[in-house]
Amino acid sequence: MNRYPAWKYLFIAVSILLGLLYTLPNFYGESPAVQISPLRNAAKADTGLLNRVEEALKKADLPTTGMFLEGGSIKVRFADTDTQIRARDALQSLLGNGYMVALNLLPNSPQWLTSIGALPMYLGLDLRGGVHFLLEVDMKGALSKALDRFSSDIRGSLREKKIPYAGLDKRGSLIIVKFRNAESRAQAEAEIKKNYPDLDLREENVSTEFHLAATLRPEAQKRIQDAAVQQNITTLRNRVNELGVAEPIIQQAGADRVVVQLPGVQDTAKAKDILGRTATLEVRMVDEEHDLSAALRGQIPFGSELYSERGGGPLLVKKQVVLTGDRINDAQPGFDNNNQPAVHLNLDNSGARIFQQLTRDNVGKRMAILLIEKNQAEVITAPVIREEIGGGRVQISGRMTSEEARDVALLLRAGALAAPMDIVEERTVGPSLGAENIESGFNSTLYGFAAIAVFMTIYYLVFGFISVLALGVNLLLLVGLLSILQATLTLPGMAAIALTLGMAIDANVLINERIRDELREGMAPQAAINAGYERAWATILDSNITTLIAGIALFAFGSGPIKGFAVVLCLGILTSMFSAVMVSRGFVNLVYGSRRKLERVSIGQVWKPVTNKR
C-alpha cells in the first residue's frame, strides 16, 4: 500500500540531483573581473584581441586568474579588486575608444557546471548595488518633432512644384498652410495627399485666406511614438556603453517608458548626466539677407533666430533645418589642417546627398553648425562654404579644446534622442547595503528554517524529520529552479523564499495531523499513512491554488520588487506541493512501506479521547 514503483523513486532522485546541481553555483561566490567588448561591429572580440590583452597585462605585471572569450566579449578574472581596477585603466588606454572596458563580477563556479548551464541566480540591484532609472519618453515632444519635419518637407515640395503659398504655421498638433486662392490650395492638397499619406487634410477658410490644415493620422502618431521609444532605447544603449557598465539592462516598460539598470555603478551623478544629455547636431544656413544690428535691437526677422557663435559674435540663423544629427554615422575627435581640435563626421547616404546639394547651391555663403544640448542651442562653428563637399565626410572645427572635441564626438556618436526623456523614478543602492541585504535575507531564511526543523522533529519525531527533509528538498528545488530560470533575485524575493518555507510546512502538518487523526480513529498504521496522504491532498490542492491566485495577480499587476516577490511565491507553491506530497511520501515509503507488520509509527503521541463520538 505504501510502496512507490521504481520510476517514482527515480523521478524524485533525479529531481533532487538536478536541484542540487543547479543550486551549487550559488555557493561559489564571485570574483572581480574586467569585461572587454567592442563598441561597434567593425571591431571584433577574437583570439587576436585576446592575445593583445594577455600581452598587455603581462607587460603591466598584472596577474590574472583566467581569461576567456564568450559571446563577443572577453572576460578576465583577477584575484582582487585592486588589480582589477589597475587592469581596467591599463586596458582602456591600450585599446582606446573602440572598446568598452568595464568592471564586472564573474561567478567562480567551475567550468563543468557552467557548461551544463548551471549559473548562480541573477542578483537584483538591491542585492548587488547599482542604479535603476525609469525614464519617460515625452510623446508630445516626439510628435512635435515629427510635425517640424513634415512642415519643412511640405515647404520643400511646394517650392519644388512651384505652388505659391502664403506661409506655413504650426499650431499645436496642426500644420496650417496658407494660400492666396483656392486654386493653388487645391493643387497643393493633391500634391500633399500624394506624397504624405500620414497626414489628414482639411480645408478651412479664415476670412479672406484659404487655409489647409494638416494633422497626423492616429496610426501614424502611434507609429511615430513607437519609433521614438525604439530610437531612444538604441540611443540610451549607446550612451550606457560609453559609461562602461557590464551587463546593463535597457528595456521598454509600458507604452512610453524605458527602464535602465546599471549594476555596480557608483558614480550616479555621471550616469545621470550622460543618460540625460540630449545632444544633437543641426546644420542650418546663416541668414545674411537681414540686418544683424536690427536683430540685436529686438527686431528678429521672421523665420530666423539669433544665436551667438562659440567664442565669437552674435549670428542670425535661419529656422529651417537642413540636416540633423540623425544622419551621422560616426563622429571621431581629431585635428584639422591647422592642427586645431576638430570633430570628424561621417554622414549616411542620404545625409551625404543633402550635404553635397547644400554645399553646391550655397558656395560663398555661410552655414551654421549648431549643437543642441539640454534644449540650449549653440553655434559651434559657422564656416563659409568654399566648395562642394561630397562623400559625406565633414569636419567641424571652431574654437574648441581637444577635451570638448572628444565630448562632442561622444555625444554625437551616441546619437540623438527622438524625443526628450524625463527620469520618473530613480533607485540607487550602495554596494555595502547590497551585501548587507543579502546577509539579512540569508540569515532570516536560515534561522527560520532551523526553528521549524527543531520544532517539527520534536513534535512529530520521524515524520517530523521526514517533513524537514522534504522542506529541505523544497528549498533546494526552489533555488535550483530560480537559478535555471535566471530569475532576478531581489530582497523581497528572498523574503518570499523565507515565507514560502513557513507556508510549505503547512502541507506536511496537514498530512501528519491527518495520519494522527486516522490512528486515533483506530486505523492500522499502514492504512492510516495511506489515508492521511490521500485525504490531505484535496485540502493541500485547494489551499495552495488560492495562494497561487494571489501570487499570479501580484505578478500581473506588480512592478519591480513585487514581481520578484510574486515569481518566488508562485514557484515556491509549486515546489512545496511536489515536495510535501511526493517527496515526503517517498521517504515515508522507504522507511515504513516495506514492513509487512507495522505495529506503530513514530509520529509523536496519538492521544485517544475516552468517549469516542459517533
Partner 1 sequence: MEFFRFKRDIPFMSWGKYTTAISLVTFIAAVFFLVTKGLNLGVDFTGGTVMEVSYTQPADLNRIRGTLIKLGMADASVQNFGTSRDVLIRLPAKADMSSAKLSETVIAALHADDETAELRRVEFVGPQVGKELVENGALALLIVSLGIVAYLAMRFEWKFGVSGIIANLHDVVIILGFFAFFQWEFSLTVLAAILAILGYSVNESVVVFDRIRENFRKMRRASVAQVIDNAITRTMSRTIITHGSTQMVVVSMLLFGGESLHYFALALTIGILFGIYSSVLVASPLLMLLGVSRKDIVKPEKKPEPEAVP
Least separation in angstroms between residue 432's CB and partner 1 is 7
In whole angstroms, give the CA distance from residue 521 to residue 607. 10
Least separation in angstroms between residue 610's CB and partner 1 is 8
Residue 261: strand pairing partners? 132, 249
604 binds partner 1, rule: CB under 8 A: yes
Least separation in angstroms between residue 524's CB and partner 1 is 9
Nearer to partner 1, 408 or 501 (CB): 501
Question: Cβ contacts of residue 4 below 8 Å, gap of 6+?
Answer: 585, 586, 589, 593
Please report, in angstroms and rounded to a whole number, the separation of the first and last CA atoms in the chain. 28
> For partner 1, which residue of 554, 582, 590, 591 counts as binding (CB under 8 A)?
554
Q: Count each helix (H run) and each strand (E run) in the chain, helices first.
A: 17, 22
Least separation in angstroms between residue 261's CB and partner 1 is 14
> For partner 1, which residue of 49, 126, 285, 519 counts as binding (CB under 8 A)?
126
Listed in sequence order, the DSSP H helices in 80-138 are 81-95, 111-115, 125-128
Calculate the CA 289 to chain-centre distance: 49
Nearer to partner 1, 337 or 432 (CB): 432
DSSP structural state of residue 263? E
Nearer to partner 1, 363 or 458 (CB): 458
Nearer to partner 1, 600 or 614 (CB): 614
Nearer to partner 1, 268 or 332 (CB): 268
Nearer to partner 1, 396 or 515 (CB): 515
Least separation in angstroms between residue 87's CB and partner 1 is 26
Nearer to partner 1, 142 or 475 (CB): 475
Q: Which of residues 425-444 bind partner 1 (CB under 8 A)?
A: 425-430, 432-433, 436-437, 440-441, 443-444
Least separation in angstroms between residue 254's CB and partner 1 is 9
Identify whether the C-beta of residue 381 lies closer than 8 Å to the C-beta of residue 307: no
609 binds partner 1, rule: CB under 8 A: yes
User: 3-class SS at 179?
Assistant: strand
> For partner 1, which residue of 14, 79, 424, 485 counts as binding (CB under 8 A)?
424
Question: Cβ contacts of residue 586 below 8 Å, gap of 6+?
Answer: 4, 8, 9, 12
21 binds partner 1, rule: CB under 8 A: no
Q: Which of residues 128-157 bind partner 1 (CB under 8 A)?
A: 133-134, 136
Residue 216: strand pairing partners? 199
Identify whether the C-beta of residue 394 lies closer than 8 Å to the C-beta of residue 380: no
User: 3-class SS at 157?
Assistant: helix
531 binds partner 1, rule: CB under 8 A: yes
509 binds partner 1, rule: CB under 8 A: yes
Indicate left, alpha or beta for 45 from its phi (over 0: left) and psi (-120 to 50: alpha): beta
Least separation in angstroms between residue 500's CB and partner 1 is 9
333 membership: H or E segment, kind and range: strand 328-335
Nearer to partner 1, 28 or 557 (CB): 557
558 binds partner 1, rule: CB under 8 A: yes
Q: Which of residues 441-470 bind partner 1 (CB under 8 A)?
A: 441, 443-445, 447-449, 451-452, 455-456, 458-459
Q: What are the grid coordinates assigned to 143, written together?
A: 510628435
User: 3-class SS at 398?
Assistant: coil
Site string (241-280) toward partner 1, x via CB under 8 A: ---------------------------xx--x--------
Least separation in angstroms between residue 570's CB and partner 1 is 10
Least separation in angstroms between residue 302's CB and partner 1 is 33
Q: Which of residues 338-357 bind partner 1 (CB under 8 A)?
A: none
Closest CA to 499 of 585, 581, 580, 571: 571
Which of the ranges 17-25, 146-154, 220-228, 515-523 carries the binding residues for partner 1, by CB under 8 A? 515-523
Least separation in angstroms between residue 134's CB and partner 1 is 7
In whole angstroms, give the CA distance from residue 518 to residue 442. 38
Binding-residue total with partner 1 (CB under 8 A): 89
Q: What share of the chain is helix, strand, coil (3-state, %, to 5)?
A: 50, 25, 25
Calculate the CA 267 to chain-centre distance: 19
561 binds partner 1, rule: CB under 8 A: yes
Least separation in angstroms between residue 549's CB and partner 1 is 4
In whole angstroms, give the CA distance from residue 533 to residue 530. 5
Question: Cβ contacts of residue 477 below 8 Å, gap of 6+?
Answer: 15, 16, 19, 575, 578, 579
